[in-house]
Chain A
Amino acid sequence: MSLRGGFDLPRAQVGVSRWRRFRASVDWPLVLAVVAISAIGLLNLYSATQGTRHAGKFDQQVRWVFVGGAAFVIATVIDYRAIVRLAWIALGISISMLVVVDVVGHGAKGSERWIYIGTVGGQPSELAKLAVIVVLARFMQDTAGAPPSWQSLVPRIVALVIPVMLIALQPDLGTASLLTLVMLTVGFLAMRDLWPMVYTLFVMVLAVPILWETMHDYQKTRVLAFLEPGADPTGSGWHTRQSIFAVGSGKITGKGYTEGTQNQFDFLPEHWTDFPFSVWAEEWGFLGSFVLIALFGFLIVWILNVAVNARDRAGAVLCIGVAAMTFWHVLVNVAMVLGMAPVVGVTLPFVSYGGSSLLTFFLAMGMVASVSLRKHGY
């Protein structure tokens, strides 16, 4: 049999050439970093759940990793410029899903974050992050020429603030502030003129007391517990203390894989979603923790590198958005685990258990790969 297509070259030559071109255009450092971090995530999840009633979570996560891998490939293949063109539609869909969640969502710990289609549930707030990043890319592209008029600017800013408000209303303060941080980061990096961003920041600082007033009691308790962790050893501070014990007890080389007592005997709360880093740090020690943080650091720097080399402004902003999202996720999650930030439900990319988070990051990385693939404009 011979493979006949729209190519006139001999088959062998075609194959070699396409393979080389593919190999040359695929962003291998990005792929390898993602694969490495995902592998660590799976390894860690296995240790965190083996032998418990949560053991099924590992199999579930493996399935999600395959789904995520497929999503990565698809997002790589699709031209990001097409996605950027559909940005406002994507945001519209996200907003409507968030509205649905706010009205009929299923609660976990007294907040509504989940939406179900049949038996498959997801957190629309995760996908909203992507939509916001894409819209930011579109926005920056639209305003690339001349400074925009206020008339065109205001509705767009409002459109971006709506999802943040909806997420905050769920209430999911962690994701809402994270989204805010991502937008600010992108703003500071991509805006020509930095003064509007400075004003925005100023207004937000003023808004903090109002925000505090609208927070739920359990959220306030967590923030207060963070500020004074010794005050209530069995309450909110308990989580942080146990997490610090776990991390510290790993010492330099760790207690060994699946040997972490804090992890194995349930002293770490929710260690598969919010605290996987303390599981890792307990079992692999300072060396393991350093490697994981270095991998994230490399990934973020590499994405920024892709941004610098992107063929257009939309691609650059897209990458900056993804880098910012990854950065804030890692920073907030690890800082929380190390007792440097309050306990908020922010996941560690590719390591935390959860399909929505995993899928979001795989899609995000796929879009970066798409930008990277098209940097030379073949």
Chain B
Amino acid sequence: MNVASPELTRRMRWVVLVLLFAFGGLVVRLWQLQVLRGDRYYHETVENVVHERNLPSIRGRILDRNLVPLADNRPAFNLYATPRSFTPLVAAELRRLLGLSDEEMEKVTARISAGRKRSSRQAVLVLEDMARERAARIEQERFRLPDLEVRHEPYRDYPQGALAAHVVGYMSQMTPAEVDDQDGAVVDPDELVGRYGLESMWENYLRGKKGKERYAVDARGQRLDEATAAGLIRGDRITEPVAGYSLVLTLDAELQKLAEKAVSSFPAAAVAVVEVKSGRVLALVSKPSFDPRVMTGHLTRAEAKFLNDDPRKPFIDKTLRAHYPPGSTYKFVTTLAALEDGLALEDEEVACVGRYERSGTTFDCTAHHGKLDLVSAIQHSCNIYFWTLAERIGIDRMADVAKEYGFGSRTGVGLNGDSPGRVPTRSFYEKFTRFKIGYTINSATGQGDVEVTVMQLVMAYVALANGGTLFVPQVVDRVVRADGGTVIQYKPEVKQRIDTPPEMVDLWKRGMWKAVNEPGGTGWEHATSAIVPITGKTGTAQVKAKRAKKDEPQIRGWHPGSDHAWFAGWAPADVPEVAIVVLIEHGGSGGKVAGPVAKAILEGWWTKVRAVSTPEPGEASAASPGAGSSSGATP
């Protein structure tokens, strides 16, 4: 029996057509999604599940010549959070739990919002190097704050604190621009990067290569177990990180400590101690300094402001970047230029009346010296003697000799913006004014427009001490692998050979010896040592009067109008091993202020540093005081 009307049967056909059309549409859509775009969506679902994480590489260490670590790594607690689940509620809870300051909280939220822009499901570093109890508190509250993770990761540490801070440098977080700049290299945002000193210049060696871990997560971001991950991820799940290379320096931490201690009572100073036979730097002090431990990570805004407002400019390396008038330490240039051109004689005497007048200007000498020969003029640092010589030689010839000794060009150490300084010539002045004889007179005594760096001066004295080899200062001795194997060994590099006849240099050396070791010398008693024979030249450089800014903080013992105090020399006097330059910024008299500092450092070097390191045969025979005025002191 069938009640279906023809009408119903007719409509039924339409209905079946509609059904076929509708379900056919679904099938077409399925074909589109699964067959045509299947690979793409498959890839998307893999990305849902498989996440990548960079494994930190261990940064290379920075060691002194005796392998004392100056920069090392220590384990630290870093806090990571996932932006997706970092709700204001979680933020408030975190703040309460750790007692975060406004400044810290600001940093956390800034990093979260930066992370959210990249990927809301990728954990970002929000607090680095947390104190142990903070880490413990987070661990305790794990179940309530499941998306906060404390990771145990290596963190940069400076075990010697601020020791040699300008050489070692510090690290700080990359800026977003720097992160974008790293084409190819694997970097995490918020990663630390070398900012200063060796940490910055040797970044590529120290950094190493990050590893990579691929792991599987579920929709809530919870890590899946190893077996599941192994089933989901093809290929290697872990690429091991490669540790960075370590640097072994030429610096001696012991000597560096001595040197820093010697200048500790001065507000601003610089010291360089360099090995005479090789140009290797043993100590390099720039004061005021900064603590790289503070700079790397925990610098508060107040501390940063304090450091930036300091008129002594703690971030400018006073051995390499800053340049100063060298004062009388520069007189060897005048002396050697005059001797080479036959314009000075050892026994020529010049009368000093304490004043020197040229073209309407009066130049004052340090004292009324009377009649002096060349060596005594060096001993007493009589300006008038050298002004007299300068007028005979002319500014350009002095500049030639200065350039031979490395002034006016970068030392080539490749650190902290190594400055070329300035050696004025006639054409230098003629560019903007009419040349005056006064410029020549000023140059002769390291004043006026002569500007040198502490490093340039010490390298020049190294060349004087070793018979004419001007080295490129060397700070890094070798690059080593994490297992200790040497990768690169650096040899001393000669910048240029200077062919000043030895007998002329000897005249200058005799003057230096007398300046320190004979009564009347500018360094007499100040730098005279009974322990190790020291020879050297003092310098008291006048500074251009500069008015202090109104809001400048007052610093005790800091008088920006006072002269710079210099001492440049070496020890032992006749068999030179190390050369030294001491600069006390605005310290006053070179002999009185810088002399004792140089003496303290050289005596410390002789008794505490040199005595314990095994001396090479032949070098052990130390000369006694008084034996040094003779010729042939070059090694």
**Residue B433 is within 8 A (CB to CB) of chain A in the complex:** no
Measured between beta carbons, the chain B residues less than 8 angstroms from A41 are none
Given A250-B38, A261-B45, verify A311-B30 contact (CB < 8 Å): no
Q: How far is the CB of B29 from chain A (nearest CB, A)?
A: 5
The complex places the Cα of A261 from the Cα of B49 at a distance, in Å, of 7
**Residue B348 is within 8 A (CB to CB) of chain A in the complex:** no
**Residue B1 is within 8 A (CB to CB) of chain A in the complex:** yes
In the complex, the chain B residue whose C-beta lies closest to that of A338 is B29
Q: Annotate B28-58 by CB proximity to A: 1 below 8 A, 0 otherwise.
A: 0111011101111110111011000000000
B-side binding surface: helix, strand, loop or mixed? Answer: helix
**Residue B219 is within 8 A (CB to CB) of chain A in the complex:** yes
The complex places the Cα of A334 from the Cα of B1 at a distance, in Å, of 37
**Residue B238 is within 8 A (CB to CB) of chain A in the complex:** no
**Residue B220 is within 8 A (CB to CB) of chain A in the complex:** yes
Is there an interface contact between B48 and A267, defined as CB atoms closer than 8 Å? yes
Q: How far is the CB of A253 from chain B (nearest CB, A)?
A: 10
- Comparing A78-86, A120-128, A283-291, A359-367, the segment that makes contact with chain B is A283-291
Q: How far is the CB of B232 from chain A (nearest CB, A)?
A: 7
In the complex, the chain A residue whose C-beta lies closest to that of B217 is A265
Q: Annotate B224-237 by CB proximity to A: 1 below 8 A, 0 otherwise.
A: 10000000100000
Is there an interface contact between A251 and B16, defined as CB atoms closer than 8 Å? no
Is there an interface contact between A331 and B41, defined as CB atoms closer than 8 Å? no
Measured between beta carbons, the chain B residues less than 8 angstroms from A234 are 84, 120
Measured between beta carbons, the chain B residues less than 8 angstroms from A249 are 38, 41-42, 44-45
- Number of residues from A at the complex interface, CB < 8 A: 50
The complex places the Cα of A233 from the Cα of B220 at a distance, in Å, of 15
Measured between beta carbons, the chain A residues less than 8 angstroms from B216 are 265
**Residue A173 is within 8 A (CB to CB) of chain B in the complex:** no
Measured between beta carbons, the chain A residues less than 8 angstroms from B23 are 293, 296-297, 330-331
- Comparing B3-11, B101-109, B163-171, the segment that makes contact with chain A is B3-11
**Residue A318 is within 8 A (CB to CB) of chain B in the complex:** no
Is there an interface contact between B16 and A304, defined as CB atoms closer than 8 Å? yes
Measured between beta carbons, the chain B residues less than 8 angstroms from A330 are 23
Q: Annotate A310-331 by CB proximity to B: 1 below 8 A, 0 otherwise.
A: 1111001000000000010011
**Residue B367 is within 8 A (CB to CB) of chain A in the complex:** no
Q: How far is the CB of A192 from chain B (nearest CB, A)?
A: 7
Q: How far is the CB of A121 from chain B (nearest CB, A)?
A: 27
**Residue A169 is within 8 A (CB to CB) of chain B in the complex:** no
The complex places the Cα of A296 from the Cα of B15 at a distance, in Å, of 15
Q: Give the size category of B's interface with A.
A: 35 or more
Measured between beta carbons, the chain B residues less than 8 angstroms from A300 are 19
Q: Annotate B207-226 by CB proximity to A: 1 below 8 A, 0 otherwise.
A: 00000000011111000100
The complex places the Cα of A261 from the Cα of B45 at a distance, in Å, of 7
**Residue B26 is within 8 A (CB to CB) of chain A in the complex:** yes
**Residue B131 is within 8 A (CB to CB) of chain A in the complex:** no
Is there an interface contact between B4 and A266, defined as CB atoms closer than 8 Å? no
Query: Which residue in A252, A308, A309, A316 is a CB contact (below 8 Å) of B34?
Result: A252
Measured between beta carbons, the chain B residues less than 8 angstroms from A313 are 3
**Residue A245 is within 8 A (CB to CB) of chain B in the complex:** yes
Is there an interface contact between A245 and B45, defined as CB atoms closer than 8 Å? yes
Measured between beta carbons, the chain B residues less than 8 angstroms from A189 are 8, 11-12, 15
The complex places the Cα of A335 from the Cα of B40 at a distance, in Å, of 20
Is there an interface contact between A309 and B48, defined as CB atoms closer than 8 Å? no
The complex places the Cα of A85 from the Cα of B29 at a distance, in Å, of 43
In the complex, the chain A residue whose C-beta lies closest to that of B49 is A261
Is there an interface contact between A281 and B46, defined as CB atoms closer than 8 Å? no
Is there an interface contact between A265 and B3, defined as CB atoms closer than 8 Å? no
Is there an interface contact between A311 and B38, defined as CB atoms closer than 8 Å? no
Is there an interface contact between A308 and B33, defined as CB atoms closer than 8 Å? no
Q: How far is the CB of A98 from chain B (nearest CB, A)?
A: 29
**Residue A345 is within 8 A (CB to CB) of chain B in the complex:** no
Given A308-B12, A310-B3, verify A267-B31 contact (CB < 8 Å): no
Query: Which residue in B15, B29, B40, B218 is a CB contact (below 8 Å) of A304?
Result: B15
**Residue B488 is within 8 A (CB to CB) of chain A in the complex:** no
Measured between beta carbons, the chain A residues less than 8 angstroms from B19 are 297, 300-301, 327
Is there an interface contact between A340 and B29, defined as CB atoms closer than 8 Å? yes
Q: How far is the CB of B13 from chain A (nearest CB, A)?
A: 10
The complex places the Cα of A327 from the Cα of B220 at a distance, in Å, of 35
Q: Annotate B12-28 by CB proximity to A: 1 below 8 A, 0 otherwise.
A: 10011001101101110
Is there an interface contact between A244 and B41, defined as CB atoms closer than 8 Å? yes
Is there an interface contact between B46 and A261, defined as CB atoms closer than 8 Å? yes
Measured between beta carbons, the chain A residues less than 8 angstroms from B33 are 244, 247-248, 338
Is there an interface contact between A251 and B2, defined as CB atoms closer than 8 Å? no
In the complex, the chain B residue whose C-beta lies closest to that of A335 is B26
The complex places the Cα of A266 from the Cα of B9 at a distance, in Å, of 47
Query: Which residue in A262, A281, A311 is a CB contact (below 8 Å) of B3?
Result: A311
The complex places the Cα of A344 from the Cα of B117 at a distance, in Å, of 31
Query: Which residue in B7, B26, B41 is a CB contact (below 8 Å) of A245?
Result: B41
Q: Among residues 320 to 378 in chain A, which have CB atoms less than 8 Å away from a CB atom of chain B? A: 327, 330-331, 334-335, 338, 340, 375-377
Is there an interface contact between B26 and A334, defined as CB atoms closer than 8 Å? yes
**Residue A136 is within 8 A (CB to CB) of chain B in the complex:** no
Is there an interface contact between B48 and A247, defined as CB atoms closer than 8 Å? no
The complex places the Cα of A128 from the Cα of B278 at a distance, in Å, of 99
Measured between beta carbons, the chain B residues less than 8 angstroms from A311 are 1-3
**Residue A225 is within 8 A (CB to CB) of chain B in the complex:** no
**Residue A246 is within 8 A (CB to CB) of chain B in the complex:** yes
Measured between beta carbons, the chain A residues less than 8 angstroms from B120 are 234
Is there an interface contact between A304 and B12, defined as CB atoms closer than 8 Å? yes
Query: Which residue in A247, A261, A290, A334 is a CB contact (below 8 Å) of B232?
Result: A261
In the complex, the chain A residue whose C-beta lies closest to that of B4 is A308
Query: Which residue in B1, B9, B31, B37 is a CB contact (below 8 Å) of A375?
Result: B1
Q: How far is the CB of B73 from chain A (nearest CB, A)?
A: 36
Is there an interface contact between A248 and B37, defined as CB atoms closer than 8 Å? yes
Q: How far is the CB of A183 from chain B (nearest CB, A)?
A: 15
Is there an interface contact between B38 and A338, defined as CB atoms closer than 8 Å? no
Given A245-B41, A262-B48, A293-B26, verify A308-B35 contact (CB < 8 Å): no
Measured between beta carbons, the chain B residues less than 8 angstroms from A251 are 34-35, 38-39, 42
Is there an interface contact between A267 and B15, defined as CB atoms closer than 8 Å? no
Q: Annotate A225-268 by CB proximity to B: 1 below 8 A, 0 otherwise.
A: 00000000010000000101111111110000000011001110
In the complex, the chain B residue whose C-beta lies closest to that of A309 is B2
Is there an interface contact between A246 and B45, defined as CB atoms closer than 8 Å? yes
The complex places the Cα of A311 from the Cα of B217 at a distance, in Å, of 59
Q: Among residues 109 to 137 in chain B, which have CB atoms less than 8 Å away from a CB atom of chain A? A: 120
The complex places the Cα of A376 from the Cα of B29 at a distance, in Å, of 41
Measured between beta carbons, the chain B residues less than 8 angstroms from A244 are 33, 41
Is there an interface contact between B40 and A248, defined as CB atoms closer than 8 Å? yes
Is there an interface contact between A265 and B39, defined as CB atoms closer than 8 Å? no
Measured between beta carbons, the chain A residues less than 8 angstroms from B25 are 340
Known: A249-B42, A308-B9. 13 other contacts (CB 8 A): A247-B30, A247-B33, A251-B35, A261-B48, A267-B45, A267-B49, A281-B34, A286-B35, A310-B3, A313-B3, A327-B22, A330-B23, A338-B29
- 6 A-B pairs with C-beta separation under 8 A: A189-B15, A251-B35, A252-B38, A286-B35, A290-B30, A340-B26
| Interface residues of B, Cβ cutoff 8 Å to A | 1-4, 7-9, 11-12, 15-16, 19-20, 22-23, 25-27, 29-31, 33-35, 37-42, 44-46, 48-49, 84, 120, 216-220, 224, 232
| Interface residues of A, Cβ cutoff 8 Å to B | 188-190, 192, 234, 242, 244-252, 261-262, 265-267, 281-282, 285-286, 289-290, 293, 296-297, 300-301, 304, 307-313, 316, 327, 330-331, 334-335, 338, 340, 375-377
The list of the 6 closest CB pairs from A to B, nearest first, reads A248-B41, A251-B38, A265-B218, A266-B219, A249-B45, A248-B33
